[in-house]
Structure 1
Amino acid sequence: MTKTKKQEWNSNLAFMMAMIGSAVGLGNIWRFPNVLYSNGGGSFMIPYIVSLFLLGISFVLVEYAVGFKFKRSIARILFSIHQKLEPIAWFILLIVFLITTYYVCVVGWDLIYIVLSITKAWGSNPDLYFANNVLHATDSLSGLFSIVPNVLVSVFLIWLFACLILRRDLNDGIGRVSQILLPLLCLIVLGIVIFSLTLPGASIGYMQIFTPDWSALGDLNVWLAAFGQIVFSLSLGMAIAMTYASYLPEGSKLVDNALVVAFSNSGFEVFNSIGIFSILGFMAVTSGIPFNELVSEGTGLAFVVFPQVFNTMGSAGSIVAPLFFLCILFAGITSVIALLEGVCYSISEKFLIERKKTATVVCIIGFLISVIFTTNAGSTILGIFDAFLNNFALVFAVFLECIIFGWIYKFDDLIAILNDNSSIQVGKTWKIVIKYILPICILGLWIQGAYTTITTADTISLSIMGLLTVILIVVPLIFAKMTARNKDYYKV
């Protein structure tokens, strides 16, 4: 059996576009505005910036250094550090894969709304239309036996597109798509923000960003919210940065790249929020609905509140609406392919399966799981998966990575790697952050997330979470125990 061909970025631009594309996702567009507004408005920017440097950039540097040094998949990297750590790698990858299975479904909903937005087919009551006409939602588990055809087709198309990208060479697939979709996304957002600032009442919205509630800075939950936003926004702990950095050629500037990616991601979500808030300010003026009742996150903002806004815009809404949903589509696709790349790379490297076959099998299995979320009960199951995997499992995975690379691995080697491949140097301060400060912050975030998830869950939710827990323990152990066909896999 021949070895799989080692992939490598053909330019730093391709890497940067792919990294920024992986970071800029649904969380930037619909999560950040709500987190910003709910945690002190303008004053939230202080814990947000602190979190960006303390948590975001610091952890991204760890992933860059590890990926660049080993130039292997996360599964093989953890095996190289200690063979008993390999199950943790598959644990992380399984979390990422399961998150992708429902993330694709949300992107699929957006694909439907691109079509609906042309004629504003959601009518005068977007809330009921989304629940009854798009999702055909029910809280009963009996809904699992009824497929929603339009959602199934849209989810299939997203998986198919992701598969076609992943099957191609690194630069022809992920590299090229990122270099096309990311600039288009930024241009559309720029256009929407400029337009939104001309709307009556825009200042009511965007002033929320520049009106601080200084008392919020004394609330621990606000700081935890800032840490959480950075974790989700930069996709920390998902092995994306580690995987992409492993494809970097020698001579790459690691710290420099990390700073550009982190600042670009944060700049995008803050700039996008100006547009989001301006449009909501317009809605508050034209409808008489208080601003605080309009601000929400997730599907409520994208598929309910904004269709209401587009209804009040007249003919302009027929132009802005498709552009808005295109933004979500482009951001979603670049994130989906980034999430899947680490999974495909680890499987391909261990079992010596060529890239095309690995991508095809992973996407087929992913689609079959996603079918669950295309049923009448799909949105309910999706909410349970999201609460457990994001608030509990993923944050715990980030904590484990902090312990492994901060305490088990020779951390000074990572400092040397970064300083030898960067114009900006790191030192003892970064080491203290990774070994002490970061684990404490992540542990606090995990405790809060775990407590909220468990205490707010009903019996059905707890049962599904229990099943997911078993899967997250058993499947990684199976993958770790399976014999690698790649004999170099066991070379430390």
Structure 2
Amino acid sequence: MSPERWSSGPGFLLSAVGAAVGLGNIWRFSAVLGANGGGAYLVPYLVAAFGLAVPMLVLELAVGRTLRSDVVSAFRSVDADYTALGWLVVGGVLLVLSYYLVLTGWVFGFLLSWLGGTGTTFATFTAGWLPVGYFVVATVLTGVVVARGVRGGIERLSNVVMPTVFALLLSLAVYAVTLPGWERALDFLVTPDLTVLADPGLWSAAVGQVFFSLSVGQGIMLTYGSYVDEGADLLRSSLLITVADIAAALLAGFVIFPIVFSFGLAPTLGTELAFTTLPAAFASMGIGRVVAVAFFGLLFFAALSSSVALLEVGVAAATNTTRLGRGRATLLLTAGVFLAGLPSALSYSPLELAVAGTPVLDLVDESVGTYALPVSAVLIALVFVHGADFDPVRDELGRLLPLVRYIIPPALVAVTGAKAAGVARPAWRLLVDGARDEPLALVATTVALAALGAVGWLLRARLSYPRRRGRG
């Protein structure tokens, strides 16, 4: 049973919003929206957010609060044979964190560059060893926050960072209204071409973005739920987290697309937009340095809060399943994440570490980054709805239970299978073009099929074990 708790309801909400609002809301949302028809994309995005993500949020929070345990212990509480599946979820989260910290380091480097007035370009930045150094800084900062605990580290950071992120977003949005491309951006964002809604790739991209953005299916909300007091309304909390997450994504769109259309940029770019084309636009602005500092500042704060949440999943599992204290567990896992992320960091450095010509970071993103989340979400839904029958969880879900039981797992399996088969276009790519490189696609498909095989094993295993019932 977890001895730690959030100090207050607002502290929990800010921390959960901090886990959800990250790089996915700011440049990933804009990239996916730009590549999927602008305003038309908002229709499946909102359907996926409130129809799929909110029920999963309630499920994870309810499981965490009911069992008062980490991801691994929660899986084991249903059946000892599911312990490995819990570690599979945690392992996927830590692998995602390993390259997410590389991106966080890049953002930090660009922030310092614009603060210093140099305004580096991505080509110049990655020509030296600074990206690796900033990766080290981002990793250490994340470890320090998590080592300080739930209240003293995670909640304290969120109480400062999240108001700052929204203040910067609002300030940049106000400035964006003054740009000549504002009206075109507004039309692009809010005027849907409903004819594209028949495209399954659009729905696939929306589901993937929503789950990525809201940190659903990664065990983050399950872990955070274990620190929530009994009196908290989890459905209300889930709705507030979702609304805040959507608001951050839309605000980011209202910041980025006026700049895109004002300076003749392509609205479909992702990471390249943040590190290559937007900095060029900043350099052309009268107050470009101020805008750049605000932009990279909010990116860094958002990325740091999400990195902390990802690491906390692993630390909570380690402290509850071993004799390690929080400090030592954080040190060991931070070191492990650093070693796992080092090849990704070196792939955009003078070493140019690659596999079959593909940078390691892109390879990890296309495999683990694309498939770990939906597979983990399916495992969580199947184990804690089909594999167990905890009264408090079922009561908390209420009318949402049929969605979690019958709709969400098949939807996620279908999306994952479509991506593995190459039917659905990828929601985003990092710094390579839109074509699927064959070696990269082969590895990604292999990982996806292996993960789907684990889901199939679980379904077969459920026929052999009775469902666990109880009040938790």
- TM more than 0.5: yes
- For residues 349 and 469 of structure 1, the distance between their equivalents in structure 2, rounded to whole angstroms, comes to 31
Map of 2:151 onto structure 1: 171
- 1:114, CA displacement in angstroms? 1.0
Match of 1:300 among 242, 252, 272: 272
- 1:471, CA displacement in angstroms? 12
Map of 1:238 onto structure 2: 218
- For residues 472 and 432 of structure 1, the distance between their equivalents in structure 2, rounded to whole angstroms, comes to 22
CA separation of 1:327 and 1:58: change in aligned 2, threshold 3 A: same
Larger Rg: 1
- For residues 256 and 236 of structure 2, the distance between their equivalents in structure 1, rounded to whole angstroms, comes to 30
- 1:399, CA displacement in angstroms? 1.6
Q: Does 1:25 align with 2:17?
A: no
Map of 1:193 onto structure 2: 173
- For residues 447 and 46 of structure 2, the distance between their equivalents in structure 1, rounded to whole angstroms, comes to 37
- For residues 111 and 87 of structure 2, the distance between their equivalents in structure 1, rounded to whole angstroms, comes to 36
Kept after mapping to 2: 8 A contact 1:240/1:338: yes
- For residues 335 and 448 of structure 2, the distance between their equivalents in structure 1, rounded to whole angstroms, comes to 20
Which one-letter code corresponds to 2:139 in the other structure? Answer: W
Map of 1:362 onto structure 2: 333
Kept after mapping to 2: 8 A contact 1:402/1:439: yes
Map of 2:282 onto structure 1: 310
Between 1:448-457 and 1:317-326, the stretch displaced more is: 448-457
- For residues 360 and 118 of structure 1, the distance between their equivalents in structure 2, rounded to whole angstroms, comes to 31
Q: Does 1:210 align with 2:210?
A: no
CA separation of 1:433 and 1:461: change in aligned 2, threshold 3 A: closer
Between 1:455-464 and 1:351-360, the stretch displaced more is: 455-464
Map of 2:290 onto structure 1: 319
Q: Does 1:36 align with 2:33?
A: yes
Q: Does 1:393 align with 2:372?
A: yes
Map of 2:105 onto structure 1: 108
Q: Deviations over 1:149-178 (max 9, x none)?
A: 312221111111111111113101000000
Q: Deviations over 1:64-123 (max 9, x none)?
A: 110010001111111110111110110010000011011000010111111222466357
Q: Deviations over 1:276-321 (max 9, x none)?
A: 111112112xxxxxx5x34311x2011011111112213x001101
Match of 1:134 among 125, 129, 143: 125
Map of 1:430 onto structure 2: 400
CA separation of 1:217 and 1:472: change in aligned 2, threshold 3 A: closer
The number of residues matched between the two structures is 437
The 5 Å alignment of 1:154-169 reads 154-169=134-149
- For residues 276 and 450 of structure 2, the distance between their equivalents in structure 1, rounded to whole angstroms, comes to 35
Kept after mapping to 2: 8 A contact 1:95/1:472: no
The 5 Å alignment of 1:396-407 reads 396-407=375-386
- For residues 97 and 353 of structure 2, the distance between their equivalents in structure 1, rounded to whole angstroms, comes to 15
Between 1:439-448 and 1:24-33, the stretch displaced more is: 439-448
List alignment gaps of at least 5 residues for structure 1.
124-128, 137-147, 285-290, 419-425, 475-491
Which one-letter code corresponds to 1:196 in the other structure? Answer: A
- For residues 16 and 451 of structure 2, the distance between their equivalents in structure 1, rounded to whole angstroms, comes to 29
Kept after mapping to 1: 8 A contact 2:66/2:226: yes
- SS of the equivalent of 2:86 reads helix
Kept after mapping to 2: 8 A contact 1:61/1:255: yes
TM-score, normalization by structure 2: 0.87
Which one-letter code corresponds to 2:9 in the other structure? Answer: N
- For residues 364 and 381 of structure 2, the distance between their equivalents in structure 1, rounded to whole angstroms, comes to 24
CA separation of 1:227 and 1:411: change in aligned 2, threshold 3 A: farther
Map of 2:431 onto structure 1: none
TM-score, normalization by structure 1: 0.84
Q: Deviations over 1:304-361 (max 9, x none)?
A: 11111112213x0011011110111000000000001010001111112111111111
- For residues 444 and 277 of structure 2, the distance between their equivalents in structure 1, rounded to whole angstroms, comes to 30
Q: Deviations over 1:17-64 (max 9, x none)?
A: 110000000010001112222223222222111111111101101101
- SS of the equivalent of 2:263 reads helix
The 5 Å alignment of 1:40-59 reads 40-59=37-56
Match of 1:349 among 303, 309, 320: 320
- For residues 372 and 290 of structure 2, the distance between their equivalents in structure 1, rounded to whole angstroms, comes to 40
Map of 1:482 onto structure 2: none
Q: Does 1:442 align with 2:434?
A: no
Kept after mapping to 2: 8 A contact 1:23/1:335: yes
- For residues 116 and 149 of structure 2, the distance between their equivalents in structure 1, rounded to whole angstroms, comes to 39
- SS of the equivalent of 2:37 reads coil
Kept after mapping to 2: 8 A contact 1:122/1:130: no
CA separation of 1:163 and 1:119: change in aligned 2, threshold 3 A: closer
Map of 2:237 onto structure 1: 257
- For residues 369 and 57 of structure 1, the distance between their equivalents in structure 2, rounded to whole angstroms, comes to 32
- SS of the equivalent of 1:212 reads coil
Map of 1:274 onto structure 2: 254
Match of 1:61 among 58, 61, 65: 58
- For residues 173 and 378 of structure 1, the distance between their equivalents in structure 2, rounded to whole angstroms, comes to 34
Map of 2:343 onto structure 1: 372
- 1:460, CA displacement in angstroms? 6.6
- 1:406, CA displacement in angstroms? 2.5
CA separation of 1:461 and 1:210: change in aligned 2, threshold 3 A: closer
List alignment gaps of at least 5 residues for structure 2.
427-434, 455-471
- 1:451, CA displacement in angstroms? 2.0
- SS of the equivalent of 1:295 reads coil
Kept after mapping to 2: 8 A contact 1:119/1:318: no
Two-structure CA RMSD over aligned residues (Å): 2.5
Which one-letter code corresponds to 1:130 in the other structure? Answer: F
- For residues 234 and 438 of structure 1, the distance between their equivalents in structure 2, rounded to whole angstroms, comes to 15
- For residues 196 and 281 of structure 1, the distance between their equivalents in structure 2, rounded to whole angstroms, comes to 11
Map of 2:461 onto structure 1: none
- SS of the equivalent of 1:410 reads strand
